[in-house]
Structure 1
Amino acid sequence: MIKNLVPILIFLGLLASCGEKETKTSESKHASPIVSNDGKSISFPDEESISFFETETVGSNNVESVLTAPGKIVATVLPSGAGASQNIILFDNPELSSNYTQLLQHRTNINQIQNINIKQKQLELERTKDLLAHGLATGQDLLTAETELSIERSNLLNERSALLEHETQLKSSGFNAEVLQKAKTGTAYLICDIPENQIRKIEVGQTANAVFTSFPNDTIPGKIAAVADMMDASTRMLKVRVELNNADKKLKTGMFATVSFGMSESDFISVSENAVVTIQGRHYVFVKTSPTEFERREIQLGTHMGKRIIVFSGLENDEEIAVEGAMQLKGLSFGY
């Protein structure tokens, strides 16, 4: 009798073990993905759960492309209606306009103090010293003359410091004060931002073509007049100033455009258009960082080539990104 019970107990034990495995498997299948790091990381319970998302490995392709960047007319040069020798620079940013106006005033002040005031006070000091030597002036007169010269020299230092501050503000916005002062009437300046990893392909004097929202059927040629000296620390973008001919006054300060720069080099990463999701004007893909995890990555896009899109920054060769199911990952990452 006991011998017959042993096989039965073993059989029941196996059934119970199988039941536990089925329960764990079922629980695993129904477990929800874990979203963390402000939606940037999405972890799945197992590899079977993540198999729904089709991926591709990215790599550089030999393609020819055009670098495009959004731009805006930030300044136009107009003749002075009062007949003044200095042209009027009409900025889209009131703060920039104020910086430029104050810069011109400080330069005028520096010229006045350096070439007139200080020279005059130096002559007065020498004259006072001579009068003192002949008993025609007092020590107080000498002290007053020395103090007045010292004040003018201090004023000169203050004016130069203020001038430097306004020059720095202009440069951070992509402008050079000397260029603005010499700018010809009928010139329009357009500023656009270029990704850090594309800077080597941008040169002063290079041709650029602008298509404005206001004139979608017109391509207006221009040239790169300057590249800013300072990179934006948060966006890793560099400002490029494009000079356009605006003799007909067609272009207005504040107008938006798409600027294209022809590029002969061809080593670019491209991705399927299905892999890209866009939220509030910013573009993302989902990079598979482990067998059960995706990471949201912001990218800088270039032009479309068929059903693929050039990527200028944000991805490296041999990274694996989601192609099918990107919209579902978008919903998990952003919560909708």
Structure 2
Amino acid sequence: MISRRLTWASTAAFLLLISCGKKDPHVPVVSYAPEVKDHGNTIVFHDTLGINFFKTEVIGKKGITANLTIPAKVSATVIPSGEGATQNIVLFENPDLAGNYTSLIQHQININQIQKINIKQKEIELGRIKDLQAHGVATGKDLLDAQTALAMEQTNLANERAALIEHETKLKSNGFNPEALRKSSAGMAYITCDLPENQLSRVTEGGPCTIQFTSFPTETFHGKIDDIADVVDNATRMVKLRVTLKNAQNKLKAGMFALLSFGVDEGEVISVPKSAVITVQGKHYVFVKSDSLQYQRQEVSIGAQVGDRTLISNGIALGARVVVEGSIQLKGLSFGY
């Protein structure tokens, strides 16, 4: 009890000091130690001396945008072909993906060849054999051979499509759109990162982002989220996210490391400056001004810290006046230390 009285007295003296400023020291000033009630939950001041030391903020729901930063890397760059090919060259950081993409292109060529040439030829040949057989010129064996040849080409087409889907799946699971790769222009760079599954609902395709590369620490690049992969890694619970940047000067190289940052809308939430929250023995509290000379200690449940503010999930009513400056002094009075 003696210790707490000393604490009140010292706090009152402190408040007296900060409130006096340059007042005439010969003018007598009467001050009373604040009264602590209800096991420290209520603090009552008996005069207005020093009360302006405590700054408050009216609580309301406000939109907050958090800044989420995750490691990323340049997974591929696009350069023009020097051999006059119809498609540009895609340089992948991962050699397995390079093999997938090359195989995908080859299977697409094979599919076009089988669909547009081989099958059409076999269909024409089968029609001719049927016509000859109708006129007694072709035999039943000739007809069977023509039907078998057409069936083989159709089987080849099905096999090529299956192989194409396999390579498309591998590319998509790593954040690449095969069709976009085939149509990509020279001078583009693809940046990918692993986004935790529990953050997936907080990002959207087309959202803006900033990228900083280890190789260019003083430069900030701006892009947008082009694609979010359709597959969540079963082991890491991560999903690939892809950003496309212009790379006309070929500054960005496949394999470069980067940090990708983008704003995450937290929605309309209750938050307070982090200076308002005090923590004692694992519990979190704020002080609410209940009238002109009284403060009430309230336990709260906190969420993430966004910038210099802390999200509050429970414990504060809308319209409450929460102390945002002086919480430490009120903590000393409330808990006796």
Which bracket does the TM-score occupy, shorter chain normalised?
A: 0.5 to 0.7
User: Cα offset for 1:181?
Assistant: 0.9
After TM superposition, the structure 1 = structure 2 runs for residues 157-236 of structure 1, keeping only pairs within 5 Å, are 157-236=158-237
Q: Which residue of 1 aligns with 2:77?
A: 76
- Alignment match, 1:141: 142
Deviation at 1:99, TM superposition (A): 0.6
Aligned-residue CA RMSD (Å): 2.9
Q: Tell me the secondary structure at the aligned position of residue 248 of structure 1.
A: coil
Structure 1 partner of 2:321: none
Change (3 A) 1:317 1:255: farther
What does residue 41 of structure 2 align with? none
- 1:176 and 1:257, CA in 2 relative to 1: closer, same or farther beyond 3 A? same
- Residue 309 of structure 1: CA displacement? 11
- Give me the whole-angstrom Cα distance separating, in 1, the residues matched to 2:158 and 2:118: 13
Counterpart code for 2:182 = Q
* C-alpha contact 1:67 1:303 (8 A) present in aligned 2: no
Look up the match of 1:96: 97
How many Å apart are 1:86 and its aligned residue? 0.5
Letter in 1 for 2:238: M
Q: Percent identity?
A: 55
Q: Which amino acid aligns with 1:230?
A: V
Residue of structure 1 equivalent to 2:7: none
Q: Distance in 2 between matches of 1:169 and 1:175?
A: 9
Call closer, same or farther: CA 1:304–1:146 in 2, change over 3 Å: same
Task: Give a deviation string over 1:188-230, Cα, whole Å, max 9, x none.
Answer: 0000111222222211111111111111111111111101111
How many residues align? The count is 224
**1:272-311 aligned within 5 A:** none
Question: 1:313 corresponds to which residue?
Answer: none
**Cα distance in 1 for residues equivalent to 2:191 and 2:123:** 47
> In 1, Cα distance between the equivalents of 2:305 and 2:77?
29
CA separation in 1, counterparts of 2:265 and 2:148?
A: 64
Partner in structure 2 of residue 86 of structure 1? 87
| Deviation for aligned residue 1:262 | 1.8
* Closer, same or farther: CA 317–97 of 1 in aligned 2, 3 Å: farther
Aligned to 1:122: 123
Stretches of structure 1 lacking an aligned partner (at least 5 in a row): 1-60, 273-286, 288-301, 311-315, 319-336
| Structure 1 position 268, deviation (Å) | 11
The aligned amino acid for 1:122 is E
Give the deviation of 1:305 after TM superposition.
5.3
Once the two structures are superposed, what CA deviation does each residue of 1:272-312 show, in whole Å capped at 9, x if it has no partner?
9xxxxxxxxxxxxxx9xxxxxxxxxxxxxx99957x999xx
Paired residue type of 2:127: E
Gapped regions of structure 2 (runs ≥ 5): 1-61, 275-281, 283-303, 316-337
Deviations 1:247-281 (A, max 9, x none): 11100000000110023427699xx9xxxxxxxxx
Q: Distance in 2 between matches of 1:118 and 1:95?
A: 32
Point out the structure with max Rg over C-alpha: 2
Offset from partner CA, 1:90-142 (integer Å, 9 cap, x none):
10111101111111111111111111111110111111111122222222111
Contact 1:106 1:163 in 2 (8 A): yes
In the alignment, the residues of structure 1 paired with residue 88 and residue 194 of structure 2 have an alpha-carbon distance, to the nearest angstrom, of 27
Using the TM superposition, name which of 167-176 and 128-137 deviates more: 128-137
Superposed, which structure 2 residues align to 1:47-62 within 5 Å? none
Deviation at 1:157, TM superposition (A): 0.6
Counterpart position of 1:66: 67
Partner AA of 1:153 in structure 2:
Q
* Alignment partners' CA distance in 1, 2:182 and 2:161: 18
- Secondary structure at the counterpart of residue 251 of structure 1: coil
- How far apart, in 2, do the equivalents of 1:214 and 1:81 lie? 27
Deviation string 1:23-53 (CA, Å, 9 cap, x unpaired) is xxxxxxxxxxxxxxxxxxxxxxxxxxxxxxx
Aligned equivalents of 2:234 and 2:270: distance in 1? 24
